[in-house]
Amino acid sequence: MARTYSLSTLTSLSENYPDVWEAVPGELDTYWAFLNTVACIGVVSVCEPRDLDKQEREALFSRIEADLEAWSPVALKTLENFFDHHAKFTKRGLTPSDAVGHWVWINLAQHPKATTETRRAVESLRLVRPTGALIYGTFSEWWSEE
């Protein structure tokens, strides 16, 4: 579900921010989808129910780890980077949602194919909050759904 959702986030953002297409040109859309997928999984993991016992938690994270390794050789390392960034920036006062959007855009701007418009989007922070809101708003409640 996270991969499918991540592909639609650009279209959703473009409804209110049509210039997102300039910040994420065609050469970056695959990387955008990768980052958004990892962020979705990260949010679900960060928001996992605290009442899981140790065995349930280990089983859950073993499954996530196995699925990530099967999907992409760098996905698990990228997820660990997400966790570090999320913890660091929420401790600095960013909302969890903003920390997610910030992580996506910072990583996008560091990609070799990032454009001037990509870097401007990060510097202005204009797309950070809506990106984080889309991902966090959808996946933070994952565990509360029936």
Q: Residue ranges per domain, the chain?
A: 2-48+73-144
List strand residue ranges (DSSP E) for the chain, in order.
none
Q: What is the pLDDT of residue 20?
A: 85
Separation of alpha carbons 104 and 36, rounded Å: 7
Residue 2 near residue 78 (C-beta atoms within 8 A): no
The whole-model pTM stands at 0.85
Enter the DSSP assignment of 144: G
Percent of the chain whose predicted confidence (pLDDT) is above 70: 89
Query: In a 3-state reduction of DSSP, which class is residue 127?
Result: coil
